Amino acid sequence: MRLLNFDDSHIDASTQEKIRKLLPSAKDALDNIINKNCAGSEYTGWFNWPKHGGFDLVSQLQDFKDSFDTYYDLILVIGVGGSYVGTKAIAESLGHQYVTTLSQYPDHAKECKKPFTPIVYAGQHLSETSLIQLLELLDKFQPIINVISKTGTTIEPMVTFRILRKYMENRYGYKEAQKRTLVTTDEQSGALRSIAKDKNYSAFPVPSDIGGRFSVLTAVGLLPLALAGYNTEELMAGANQLFSELLMPMDDTKVHPTAQYAAFRKTSWEAGKRIEILAYHEPQLSALIEWWKQLYGESEGKNGQGLYPVGHCYTTDLHSLGQYAQDGCRNLIETFLTIKNPNLSNLAGLENRIRIPHIENNDDGLGYLENRYLSEINQSAMEATKMAHLEGGVPCAEIRLQTLDERNIGYLIAFFEVSCSISALLMGVNPFDQPGVEQYKKNLFSILGRD
Ligand code: PA5
């Protein structure tokens, strides 16, 4: 059974017809990815990755975790772009939003079904203030650090790592700092690979045929997630399920949601739409939306093409950007990412669902909501918003995921990776390069006086 479905049944009939006509091209694009016959095909190692290395990696990392004999209660991931945002997406989608605070209370770990080790992040900007605050936090914990850069040349993580290496050595001494430092980088080349070798840090590879934003299910994401206690095998199984569906012979009457979503986006682009809102109703998905933004923005936004990806968290953003979505410039489409069944099993010790309680004199007038689950009201708000935005002239579709657990998230990640690649190919661009990112780097190096 598919773990998600794509629903565009509320879009007007003529747009639906255009989407339908585009589906064979979407399917061709998918075949070209599978057969490594597309632009950038040398970077399609992420496709069917679970079977080509992913499952093996899961067990290697589990072995590493089992043999890791240094106590830690915090994991610091140093990286930028695809080298950190996917980890954050998964950790926050499945974790507890107050994990760093709660982890300081020993009782919590005992009570909690899945007491994940907190993961914090650095190296995704150059803010001095932020780094000072991070160092203050590290002082309160026994951290390990995982520096991640495929190229090993990216300025934000490399500058941060230089500062953090000093911090760790000053605090723990060379030997212990060495044990507490893990490096994830290109299999063979780059400054980080040489540093790892010279300093004898434990090092993990990023496969050369998998680009940064497609790398979350390699050691880039799996190492910190495994060390934090997430079920990486289930994540991989979810991704495997999606790739297996795509590799099964498909009869022409059955269209896969990866192709449907890509065709919806391309049809919208041709109709003059320029922005896609991904709307979501669980705040814990905000990092996942950041990951989606990076995936789509960097894969599709080139040669003057590409829908600009933005995220709206509802109902929060209904009280700000909702106004624009309803009534502003009509160059928008909106995709609602909804979760059919809330999964509370990952939450620390929280067994009881929340229903709206009875209050004697109904002084707040909310009696009509009594006894309903809060998540049911949240779903209704999404439904009401979708109807309103459709009426306001925004083509709306929905991606409905079964629930929030490792398997579903692994599946969703693979879904977006495939659909995004199809979408970029339909737009006529190479999904796997990012030439635009180089320009600022050149300017920065020149301003800072690098040879
Ligand atoms: O998708 C990409 O390739 C980029 O976003 C990279 O992930 C990002 O620039 C970081 O690169 P690196 O891992 O080489 O430091």
pLDDT digits (tens, 9 = 90+) for 276-323: 999 999 999 999 999 999 999 999 999 999 999 999 999 999 999 999
Catalytic residue among 136, 319, 358, 391: 319
Please give the DSSP secondary-structure letter assigned to residue 373: B
Nearest CA to ligand 1 atom 3: 212
Q: Where are the alpha helices (DSSP H) in 4-68?
A: 13-34, 49, 55-67
Ligand 1 closest atom vs CA 206: 13
pLDDT at 115 over 90: no
pLDDT at 214 over 70: yes
**Weakest-pLDDT range from 180-194, 338-352, 363-377, 424-438:** 338-352
Cα of 159 from ligand 1 centre, angstroms? 15
Cα of 146 from ligand 1 centre, angstroms? 15
Q: What is the pLDDT of residues 46-60, one digit of tens each?
A: 999 999 999 999 999
Q: Is the CB of 80 under 6 A from ligand 1?
A: yes
Ligand 1 closest atom vs CA 157: 15
Nearest CA to ligand 1 atom 15: 149
CA quadruple 135, 137, 142, 147: dihedral, nearest 10: -50
Cα of 437 from ligand 1 centre, angstroms? 9
Q: Is the CB of 157 under 6 A from ligand 1?
A: yes
Catalytic residue among 156, 233, 290, 298: 298
Q: Is the CB of 151 under 6 A from ligand 1?
A: yes
Pair type for strands 396-403 and 4-7 = antiparallel
**Weakest-pLDDT range from 52-61, 64-73, 392-401, 438-447:** 438-447
Q: What does the pLDDT read at residue 114?
A: 66
Distance CA 294, CA 22 (A): 25
More reliable by pLDDT, 353 or 83? 83
Cα of 151 from ligand 1 centre, angstroms? 8
Burial class (CB in 10 A: 0-12, 13-18, 19+), 262: buried
Distance CA 33, CA 29 (A): 6
Ligand 1 mutation pick, 186, 213, 416, max ligand atoms within 8 A of CB: 213
Residues in the chain: 451
Distance CA 366, CA 385 (A): 20
Distance CA 153, CA 333 (A): 37
| Residue 142 neighbours by CB distance under 10 Å | 13
pLDDT at 407 over 70: yes
| Residue 350 neighbours by CB distance under 10 Å | 14
Ligand 1 mutation pick, 44, 83, 213, 439, max ligand atoms within 8 A of CB: 83
Interacting residues of 32 by C-beta distance below 8 A, sequence separation 6+: 38, 41, 425
Ligand 1 closest atom vs CA 220: 13
In angstroms, what is the C-alpha Rg of the chain?
23
Cα of 80 from ligand 1 centre, angstroms? 6
Whether 340 contacts 282, CB under 8 Å = no
Distance CA 170, CA 166 (A): 6
Measured between alpha carbons, how far is residue 139 from residues 145, 168, 171, 242 in Å? Answer: 13, 10, 9, 42
Q: What angle do CA 252, 254, 276 make, to 5 degrees?
A: 110
Q: Is the CB of 268 under 6 A from ligand 1?
A: no
* Mean pLDDT, rounded, for 157-165: 97
Q: Is the CB of 211 under 6 A from ligand 1?
A: yes
In percent, how much of the chain has pLDDT > 70?
96
Sign of CA dihedral 339, 342, 344, 345: negative
Q: Is the CB of 149 under 6 A from ligand 1?
A: yes
Q: What angle do CA 307, 270, 22 make, to 5 degrees?
A: 105
Q: Is the CB of 395 under 6 A from ligand 1?
A: no
Nearest to 241 by CA among 120, 87, 410: 410
Nearest CA to ligand 1 atom 12: 149
Q: Which range scores top for mean pLDDT: 188-192, 249-253, 397-401?
A: 397-401
Cα of 117 from ligand 1 centre, angstroms? 25
Whether 373 contacts 314, CB under 8 Å = no
pLDDT at 109 over 70: no
Q: Is the CB of 83 under 6 A from ligand 1?
A: yes
Distance CA 351, CA 209 (A): 43
Distance CA 228, CA 406 (A): 14
The first and second tokens of residue 225, run together, are 């997630």
pTM above threshold 0.85 = yes
Q: What does the pLDDT read at residue 352?
A: 62
Sign of CA dihedral 401, 383, 17, 324: negative
Q: What is the pLDDT of residues 125-146, one digit of tens each?
A: 999 999 999 999 999 999 999 9
Q: Is the CB of 212 under 6 A from ligand 1?
A: yes
Q: Where are the alpha helices (DSSP H) in 35-96?
A: 49, 55-67, 85-94
Q: Is the CB of 156 under 6 A from ligand 1?
A: no
pLDDT at 351 over 60: no
Measured between alpha carbons, how far is residue 409 from residues 59, 101, 158, 243 in Å? Answer: 19, 25, 30, 14
Nearest CA to ligand 1 atom 2: 212
Catalytic residue among 113, 166, 197, 441: 441
Whether 112 contacts 348, CB under 8 Å = yes
Whether 339 contacts 401, CB under 8 Å = yes
Whether residue 441 lies in the annotated active site:
yes
